[in-house]
């Protein structure tokens, strides 16, 4: 699978980079993973282009709920 950055994913999803990072940390965005090593304060993000493509296609087809801000 092809990996992409949080910036690339954010641009394709029309979200901020921080939003993508937080959603990955909360396991609410099924396009990759947020990993934090024990004792660390920083996350490492693994995002796959193929999973992002599938997620976007699911939104367009109405099969996946688009994540929106609840405020």
At 23-35, the pLDDT tens digits run: 999 999 999 999 9
| Backbone φ and ψ of 45, nearest 5° | -110, 130
Residue 11, in any domain of the structure = yes
Residue 40, in any domain of the structure = yes
pLDDT at 20 over 80: yes
Q: What is the dihedral of CA 35, 38, 39, 43, to 10 degrees?
A: 0
Residue 44, in any domain of the structure = yes
Residue 71, in any domain of the structure = no
Residue 15, in any domain of the structure = yes
Tens of pLDDT along 41-60? 999 999 999 999 999 999 88
Residue 16, in any domain of the structure = yes
Strand order in the sheet with 44-48: 3-4, 44-48, 32-35
Residue 67, in any domain of the structure = no
Residue 53, in any domain of the structure = yes
Provide the domain limits for residue 28: 3-60
Q: Number of structural domains, the chain?
A: 1
């Amino acid at each position: 699978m092809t990996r992409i950055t949080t910036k690339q994913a954010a641009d394709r999803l029309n979200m901020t980079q921080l939003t993508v990072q937080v959603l990955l940390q909360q396991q609410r965005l099924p396009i990759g993973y947020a990993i934090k090593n024990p004792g660390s304060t920083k996350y490492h993000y693994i995002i796959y282009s193929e999973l992002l493509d599938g997620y976007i296609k699911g939104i367009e087809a109405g099969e996946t709920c688009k994540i929106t801000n609840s405020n």
